[in-house]
Amino acid sequence: MIRDQAKKPAKAPANEAPAKAGKGGAEKPAAAKGVAKLGKGVIAVAPPSFRRERALLKQGVWPVAGCDEAGRGPLAGPVVAAAVVLDPKRIPKGLDDSKRLTAEEREELFEKICRTSAFAVAFASPARIDRDNILRASLWALARAVHALPELPKRVFVDGRDRIDVSCDCEAVIGGDGLVMSIAAASIVAKVTRDRLMCALAQDCPGYGFEQHKGYAVPEHLAALNRLGPSVHHRSLFAPVVAARAKHQPGIITPEPDLFAETTVITSTEITVGL
């Protein structure tokens, strides 16, 4: 992945990024971990590695899982969490943070991960998100996915700054989906699963455009929400949904059935149709 490098101060050498102060005032290179300089004007972001998992494997610590979620930001649909244990001998080529991949690349890698790895997927429903808040609901779903793996891992790497409540060692890795290969695989599984789910929900609730924006607060979604009012799949306490409900459903509202009210978990030992 190539991106333009920010302009440097006039005094900085052409091939050197300005230094930043680290802890204690010490200077450190501006290039972040996992970023390699290719020359003037461009830098390349290195793909995630299997280094951490391999180090644990050499110590006899295995299985090692990576976990990540998709769908914290949308106004509708559940949060989808995934946990993946890669097979060290059959790691699919091209694994990367799902955000760096095209939809076609994610779909292809999703199929390869499901064929070669142990994985589990869990959902946090809009009702749980409303009850617990988005962060707690996401962490709950991540823990559910880990505990649903065919074999409980001995170590879990989770994307972000928050560890999850699991019955094994857990390490939070900020930016982990771009650093740790197992987390990258989980990000792909979570993203593809949620995208497919939102396309299915679009058929249940036509008019909102879920198949296009996947529930995110883009102008088209906000316009549909203002026009149609909230659906059962919307997160009731998110501000745009509250405003739409006040317009279309004033007064006391009887809650509609929530398709994801029951805990839903998918594992690699099950045959799943439609995901």
Q: For 136-147, what is each residue's pLDDT tens digit?
A: 999 999 999 999
With 50 as the cut, is the pLDDT of residue 24 above it?
Answer: no
pLDDT band for position 9 (50/70/90)? very low
Q: Check whether residue 80 and residue 196 sit in a common domain.
A: yes
pLDDT for 161: 97
Please give the structure tokens belonging to residue 172.
């939070």
pLDDT band for position 260 (50/70/90)? low
pLDDT band for position 250 (50/70/90)? confident
Q: Check whether residue 58 and residue 6 sit in a common domain.
A: no
pLDDT band for position 265 (50/70/90)? low
- Is residue 30 assigned to a domain? yes
Q: What is the pLDDT of residues 228-246, one digit of tens each?
A: 999 999 999 999 999 999 9
pLDDT for 12: 44
- Is residue 228 assigned to a domain? no
pLDDT band for position 38 (50/70/90)? low
Q: Check whether residue 81 and residue 7 sit in a common domain.
A: no
- Is residue 79 assigned to a domain? yes
Q: Check whether residue 39 and residue 69 sit in a common domain.
A: no
- Is residue 240 assigned to a domain? no
Q: What CATH number corresponds to the domain at position 112?
A: 3.30.420.10
Q: What integer is the mean pLDDT of 221-228?
A: 96
- Is residue 211 assigned to a domain? no
Q: Check whether residue 179 and residue 65 sit in a common domain.
A: yes
Q: What is the pLDDT of residues 55-66, one digit of tens each?
A: 999 999 999 999
Q: What is the pLDDT of residues 90-122, one digit of tens each?
A: 999 999 999 999 999 999 999 999 999 999 999
pLDDT band for position 39 (50/70/90)? low
Q: Check whether residue 59 and residue 187 sit in a common domain.
A: yes
Q: Check whether residue 140 and residue 57 sit in a common domain.
A: yes
pTM of model > 0.85: no
- Is residue 237 assigned to a domain? no
Q: Check whether residue 26 and residue 145 sit in a common domain.
A: no
Q: Check whether residue 13 and residue 39 sit in a common domain.
A: yes
Q: What is the pLDDT of residues 266-275, one digit of tens each?
A: 555 453 434 4
Q: Check whether residue 81 and residue 102 sit in a common domain.
A: yes
Q: Check whether residue 17 and residue 58 sit in a common domain.
A: no
pLDDT band for position 167 (50/70/90)? very high
- Is residue 236 assigned to a domain? no
With 80 as the cut, is the pLDDT of residue 36 above it?
Answer: no
With 90 as the cut, is the pLDDT of residue 31 above it?
Answer: no
Among 43-52, 78-87, 206-215, name the one with the lowest average pLDDT: 43-52
- Is residue 223 assigned to a domain? no
Number of separate domains in the chain: 2
Q: Check whether residue 136 and residue 8 sit in a common domain.
A: no
The residue range of the domain holding 23 is: 2-45
